[in-house]
Amino acid sequence: MEWLTALSVWMIPVLIGTVILVATIRRVPTYETFVSGAKEGFGMSVSIIPYLVGMLVAIYVFRASGAMEALVSGMAPFLSWFGVPADIVPLALLRPISGTGALGLMTDLTAVHGPDSYIGRLAATLQGSTDTTFYILTVYFGAVGIKKMGDALKVGLLADLVGIIAAIFIVSLIFGS
């Protein structure tokens, strides 16, 4: 697996190098083109602000009110009945909502249970294999001004659920206690 880690380190520099090289060979005015594309970056970031503020305020209120915790503790016994360790439940529920929050929880689980414990590995797999659905939804749709999102949220969250189930299954199969 060493080569995979090396690959991810080399990926970005190689990518940048290739693009510049090909562009130079094909006589594209590289710097001018870069600047004209990069100009869009600022406006795009600013245009996301209203969407992200709306979404994050709702999420923060939901968490701060204690409703999130109530949901987690309400579901924990039900889930542990399926063999899902209770410690992992908050992480699984927080993962689609808040990227930094989930990362914090995962770090915490790693610290408390140890990185090579069953829970530590499950937390790591969960963190690595799913993404912050709400954030992606807001940023991607916000940047291009999509207001009606159709089935996107449902599809994203259900896919997260598949990922969570698959993570629990494979970790208990390989590293099971």
Partner 1 sequence: MLLIGLVYAALNGTMSEVTEGVFTGAKEAVAICIGLISVLTFWLGLMKVAETAGILKQLAKLVHPLARRVFPEVPKDHPAMGYILSNLTANVFGLGNAATPMGIKAMEELKRLNGGKDEASRSMITLLALNTACLTLVPTTVISIRMSYESEAPTDIVSTTIFASGCAMIGAICIDRFFYYLRSRKERSS
Which residue, 65 or 78, is less far from partner 1 as judged by CB? 65
d(CA 16, CA 13): 5
Which residue, 78 or 165, is less far from partner 1 as judged by CB? 165
DSSP structure class, residue 150: T
| Pair 160, 168: CB distance under 8 Å | no
Q: Is 1 in the site for partner 1 (CB under 8 A)?
A: yes
- Burial annotation 30-40 (CB, 10 A radius, 16+ → b, else e): eeeeeeeeeee
Report residue 115 as tokens. Answer: 């990185």
Q: How many residues bind partner 1 (CB under 8 A)?
A: 99
Least distance (Å) from partner 1 to the CB of residue 80? 20
Interface positions, 96-135, toward partner 1 (CB under 8 A): 96, 103, 106-107, 110-111, 114-116, 120-121, 124-133
Which residue, 63 or 80, is less far from partner 1 as judged by CB? 63
Least distance (Å) from partner 1 to the CB of residue 83? 16
Least distance (Å) from partner 1 to the CB of residue 177? 15
d(CA 138, CA 40): 18
Interface positions, 25-84, toward partner 1 (CB under 8 A): 26, 28, 30, 33-38, 40-42, 44-46, 48-49, 52-53, 55-67, 70
Distances (CA, A) of 156 to 97, 134, 159, 162: 11, 9, 5, 10
Q: Is 159 in the site for partner 1 (CB under 8 A)?
A: yes
Among 19, 73, 77, 83, binds partner 1 (CB under 8 A): 19
Q: Is 4 in the site for partner 1 (CB under 8 A)?
A: yes
Report residue 161 as tokens. Answer: 């659920």
Q: Is 150 in the site for partner 1 (CB under 8 A)?
A: yes
Q: Is 14 in the site for partner 1 (CB under 8 A)?
A: no
Distances (CA, A) of 62 to 29, 73, 90: 50, 15, 14
